[in-house]
């Protein structure tokens, strides 16, 4: 039986980069390497324009039923004034929450061919391979109350609530330690236990989990220091586990170390189903919808294609095909092919479709 992919290209460059994934799927299906059936939905500003919501109930149901969701990007200045609950980002947040995708894996890998595209010196980033494990369904993103109240005296009061329970910290830390075992065997847990009660609990639970993983080195780090260390000496890190908000910020910093936000994939995973062992999953590039370059055909499709490679690996166990796809990406970069965001030495750059086609050619070779 065909495996189902639900494609949500979203806004801005989302549609352009998703088109390259669709070409890839058409090819792997035609080769008999996969048997994917795909459906497409709307999320973000385009969904608001069509339905008045950041994602429709119908598309939510399809996302819940699919074997994996492949997500592009959402948002843009066009929707700056839509009501808060209907803003493009609300579609993504609802997907994360309703699919219970609590574990967000954000690798920051420096492709050797790109070490000079980083704002940091080559020796600081060359060979970099960090994994940020971000908690994705809790914390200040979803805590209640979350409101602005009018105090009636010309003042307003805004509240967001940072809240974590033991089980939420425990399960994300276990994901981080399990993954650390498959790589550098080191976990840093980042929080602000020096000012936040949620940080105190976070650290307590992280230490308790660490005790179950004697083979993995564990260190606590304050989140602000973590940000500083990421730009000072990023290669000291292997896996960093942190909450939703710190993870949002630290992963942007880590991503930029690698030369381009346009390169990095991410996977958001739920807990394995008790009966089938299957996880709900959504794969998306770390970068956003880049409205400034949308529609020009110049966006870098690599993060999107690399996100699809993660889907092959984590959701479908197609490790060999995932490796081949990642090798094809590294291969075209090694040959010097560049989109504008990773351009070097005034060399000629290529567009989204050319980059997608070059990767597909490499894969087929």
Which residues sit at the interface with Mg ion, rule CB under 5 A? 248
243 scored as a contact of ligand IPM (CB under 6 A): no
135 scored as a contact of ligand IPM (CB under 6 A): no
Which two tokens mark 233?
A: 């000496």
C-alpha distance from residue 259 to each of 8, 150, 276, 317, 356 (Å) = 26, 44, 39, 29, 19
* Least distance (Å) between residue 230 CB and Mg ion: 15
Characterise 127 by phi-psi region: left (phi > 0), alpha (psi -120 to 50), beta (else): left
Binding partner at 67 among Mg ion, ligand IPM, none, C-beta below 5 to 8 Å by kind: none
132 scored as a contact of ligand IPM (CB under 6 A): no
Nearer to ligand IPM, 42 or 92 (CB): 92
Task: Give the span between the Cα atoms of 263 and 202, in whole angstroms.
Answer: 31
Nearer to ligand IPM, 25 or 243 (CB): 243
C-alpha distance from residue 70 to each of 45, 113, 264, 325 (Å) = 17, 27, 14, 16
Nearer to ligand IPM, 175 or 254 (CB): 254
Do residues 17 and 52 make contact, with C-beta atoms less than 8 angstroms apart? no
How many amino acids of this chain bind ligand IPM (CB under 6 A)?
A: 4
What DSSP string runs through 241-283?
A: EE-HHHHHHHHHHHHHHTT-GGG-EEEEE-PPPTTT----EEE
* Least distance (Å) between residue 70 CB and ligand IPM: 15
DSSP state of 100: T
Which two tokens mark 131?
A: 């994994």
Contacts with ligand IPM, 88-107, as mask; x by CB under 6 A = -x--xx--------------
Binding partner at 92 among ligand IPM, Mg ion, none, C-beta below 5 to 8 Å by kind: ligand IPM
Q: Which residues bind ligand IPM (CB under 6 A)?
A: 89, 92-93, 248
């Amino acid at each position: 039986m065909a495996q189902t992919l639900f494609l949500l290209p979203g806004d801005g460059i989302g549609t352009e980069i998703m088109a390259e994934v669709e070409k890839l799927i058409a090819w792997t299906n035609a080769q008999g390497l996969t048997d994917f059936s795909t459906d497409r939905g709307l999320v973000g500003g385009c969904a608001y324009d069509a339905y008045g919501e950041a994602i429709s109930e119908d598309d939510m149901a399809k996302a819940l039923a699919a074997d994996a969701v492949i997500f592009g990007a959402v948002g843009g200045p066009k929707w700056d004034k839509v009501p808060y609950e209907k803003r493009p980002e609300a579609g993504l947040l609802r997907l994360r929450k309703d699919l219970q995708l609590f574990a967000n894996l954000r690798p920051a890998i420096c492709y050797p061919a790109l070490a000079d595209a980083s704002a940091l010196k080559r020796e600081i980033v060359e060979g970099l391979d960090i994994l940020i494990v971000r908690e994705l369904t809790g914390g200040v993103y979803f805590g209640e109350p979350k409101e602005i109240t009018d105090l009636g005296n010309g003042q307003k009061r805004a509240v967001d609530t940072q809240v974590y329970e033991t089980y939420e910290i425990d399960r994300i830390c276990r994901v981080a330690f399990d993954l650390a075992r498959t790589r550098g065997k080191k976990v840093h847990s980042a929080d602000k236990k020096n000012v936040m009660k949620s940080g105190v609990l976070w650290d307590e639970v992280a230490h308790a989990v660490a005790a179950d993983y004697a083979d993995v080195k564990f260190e606590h780090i304050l989140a602000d220091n973590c940000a500083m260390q990421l730009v000072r000496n990023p290669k000291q890190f292997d896996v960093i586990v942190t909450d939703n908000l710190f993870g949002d910020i630290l992963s942007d910093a880590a991503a930029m170390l690698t030369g381009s936000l346009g390169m990095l994939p991410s996977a958001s995973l739920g807990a394995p189903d008790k009966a089938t062992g299957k996880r709900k999953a959504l794969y998306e590039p770390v970068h956003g919808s880049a409205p400034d370059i949308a529609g020009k055909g110049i966006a870098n499709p690599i993060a999107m294609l690399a996100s699809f490679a993660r889907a092959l690996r984590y959701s479908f166990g197609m490790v060999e095909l995932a490796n081949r796809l990642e090798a094809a990406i590294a291969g075209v970069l090694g040959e010097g092919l560049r989109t504008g965001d990773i351009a070097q030495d005034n060399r000629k750059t290529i567009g989204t479709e050319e980059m997608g086609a070059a990767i597909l050619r490499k894969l087929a070779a």
